[in-house]
Structure 1
Amino acid sequence: MDKLRSMEVFAAAAEAGSFSACADALGLSAVMVGKHVGQLERHLGVRLLQRSTRRQSLTEAGHLFLEECRQILERVRKAETVAERLHSQPRGRLRVSAPVTLGETAVAEAVSAYLLRYPEVTVELVLDDAFTDLIADGFDAAVRIGALASSDHLVARPLRPYRMAICAAPAYLAQAGHPRTLAELAGHRCLNHLLWPQGMGWPAPEDGAAVPKSSAPLAANNGQALRRAALAGCGVVMQPEVLLAADIAAGLLVPLLEDAMPVPRPVHLLYPRDPRPLPKQACFVDVMLEKMGA
């Protein structure tokens, strides 16, 4: 019985809330997760999890054992980093958090360059627009868009600002014409993002008038879906520049109203403050600044 592995699986199952979610996170089968937990329970002689077809919950013994597992696993992680520091070349696993659109474009490209340069590192890139706690969630680095709160525990390095772009396909513009002012968008088919508050996504005209209502043939909660609709000639799209840059460079989308875009938002790379960072983290910071630095 690999006690340490079983403890790791049990802790993951307790935090995930189900064997199936734990199995997905660890790359195991739900049956294997159950075997690890069962082995621990037989070894300890107590029930750790109460399970039914719909839910699971920790027993009193399970709560106590989980706290001990977390402490032991954290000590093991720290012991492993001591060994990592002895190596001059980056190696091991690196966990990175990033927002979805920026993560699947610029961050993914930088991560790919990092992996080619340092093949002994494996990267776990988690894309999520929700807030993540680097320390609590076990991330080595995170990319954040927007203003930051001050922190004594994290280092923040500025990256290229997050710019928006308004574009349309040449075929659409040939039929509907080029909007020359924001007010003229009222006469165009504008593709809207469902996460924008109504009327708040598009920049307001300079005279302070309300954002003009426009015909919206498509509203979606995903930027890639809006991009594809714009490429097909369905209307005018406003999305992050990093998402549209390749299409603009290829002439598939034409940038519009460039002087009327919102002020770019700041972007930072965050990582835990450490006077002796692991090579894998220090080299990742260098690559990110090289590829995405201001």
Structure 2
Amino acid sequence: MDKLRGMETFIAVVESGSFTQAAARLEMSAVMVGKYIALLEEQLGTRLLERNTRRQSLTDAGRVFYDEAKRVLEQVSIAESSVERLRAAPAGTLRISAPTSFGGCVIAPLTATFLQTWPEVRVELDLTNRMVDMVNEGFDLAIRIGDIRHDDLVAKYLCPYRMVICAAPAYLARHGTPQTPADLVDHLCLSHTVWTARNEWRLPGVEGEVRWKRDAILRCNDGYGLRTAAVAGAGLLLQPEVLVADELANGRLIRVLEHFTPEPRPVHLLWRQDLRPLPKLTYYIDHLLQGMRAA
């Protein structure tokens, strides 16, 4: 058995709280996680975890092994980073976390041009709207939208995150163009299921929530799906500007209620301040900043 992989698996089980969650974190099957733990316990000649159908807990030996295994993997990471720093050019793997829509529309294309310049770098781009744990999940960089409250991370402003309300010309021809939020009662609206009813159509200068005649005609958990429906004339859409920029430029979608869209939120780059930045990270950050300035 690969002892380092076994240690990594054991640590993931302890920190995740279950074999299933550890398997998702490590991108392996829960059965394989169980095999690693069983082999570790066999080699060490002692039980590391007490398990039943409802919970798991560390044995005394498990607590000692967890602490020492963490130190071992940290030292391995330091050793790898030390060797990597000897290389003047960026190389190695970067793990990036970014919001789904912004990451797909903005970060992915910029990453592609970065990789064309620095072919020795490999990027793992995880598009998710959840707040990842950068340290425990091993991310080098995270892109976050909104206010930052992480004193243990370095934050660098990247760009504003603007929203837009829009619809297809065919839809506006059928239903008319709303001039104020009050006009939304006469319109069909498309909604993202991840957002709550409290904030999705709460617009500046409007007291309380903006409501429409009936519930959203279409709810979807994916911004790209909503964009497609809007282009097809299904209704009004409130989504990030980056998601519909091409459709706005070619006229397939038209802006409406421009004076009532939500205030832009800041987008920041976050990375660990206790980590001496490697060339692959510093060059990537510079590339993102230059790319946004040129946009």
TM-score norm. by structure 2 comes to 0.87
Q: Which residue of 2 aligns with 1:84?
A: 84
1:164 equivalenced with 2:163 (yes/no):
yes
Q: Deviations over 1:219-251 (max 9, x none)?
A: 334323322321221110101111111222233
Q: CA RMSD in A?
A: 2.7
Q: 1:58 to 1:191 in 2, by over 3 A?
A: same
What is the CA–CA distance in structure 2 between the aligned matches of 1:271 and 1:227, rounded to whole Å?
32
Unmatched 5+ stretches in structure 2: none
Q: Which residue of 2 aligns with 1:189?
A: 188
CA drift at 1:57: 4.0
CA drift at 1:165: 0.6
Q: Which residue of 2 aligns with 1:175?
A: 174
3-state SS in 2 of match to 1:167: strand
Do the aligned partners of 1:200 and 1:211 also contact (CA within 8 Å) in 2? no
Do the aligned partners of 1:190 and 1:237 also contact (CA within 8 Å) in 2? yes
CA drift at 1:50: 3.5
Q: 1:282 to 1:58 in 2, by over 3 A?
A: same
Q: Which residue of 1 aligns with 2:259?
A: 259
What is the CA–CA distance in structure 2 between the aligned matches of 1:137 and 1:62, rounded to whole Å?
21
What is the CA–CA distance in structure 2 between the aligned matches of 1:25 and 1:209, rounded to whole Å?
41
Q: Percent identity?
A: 49
What is the CA–CA distance in structure 1 between the aligned matches of 2:268 and 2:260, rounded to whole Å?
24
What is the CA–CA distance in structure 2 between the aligned matches of 1:205 and 1:101, rounded to whole Å?
23
Q: 1:196 to 1:22 in 2, by over 3 A?
A: closer
Q: 1:38 to 1:164 in 2, by over 3 A?
A: same
CA drift at 1:54: 6.7
What is the CA–CA distance in structure 1 between the aligned matches of 2:191 and 2:292, rounded to whole Å?
28
What is the CA–CA distance in structure 2 between the aligned matches of 1:165 and 1:207, rounded to whole Å?
16
What is the CA–CA distance in structure 2 between the aligned matches of 1:31 and 1:212, rounded to whole Å?
49
Unmatched 5+ stretches in structure 1: none
What is the CA–CA distance in structure 2 between the aligned matches of 1:31 and 1:275, rounded to whole Å?
34
3-state SS in 2 of match to 1:255: strand
3-state SS in 2 of match to 1:68: helix
3-state SS in 1 of match to 2:248: helix
3-state SS in 2 of match to 1:134: coil
What is the CA–CA distance in structure 2 between the aligned matches of 1:211 and 1:32, rounded to whole Å?
50
Identify which range, 3-12 or 66-75, moves more after superposition: 3-12
Q: Deviations over 1:10-42 (max 9, x none)?
A: 222333344444344334444443333222212
CA drift at 1:274: 6.1
3-state SS in 2 of match to 1:125: strand
Give runs of aligned pairs for residues 1-294 of structure 1, distance below 5 A. 1-51=1-51, 56-149=56-149, 151=151, 153-198=152-197, 200-204=199-203, 206=205, 208=207, 211-215=210-214, 216-273=216-273, 276-293=276-293
What is the CA–CA distance in structure 2 between the aligned matches of 1:21 and 1:276, rounded to whole Å?
30
Do the aligned partners of 1:143 and 1:269 also contact (CA within 8 Å) in 2? yes
Q: 1:133 to 1:39 in 2, by over 3 A?
A: closer
3-state SS in 2 of match to 1:101: helix
Do the aligned partners of 1:182 and 1:257 also contact (CA within 8 Å) in 2? yes
3-state SS in 1 of match to 2:269: strand
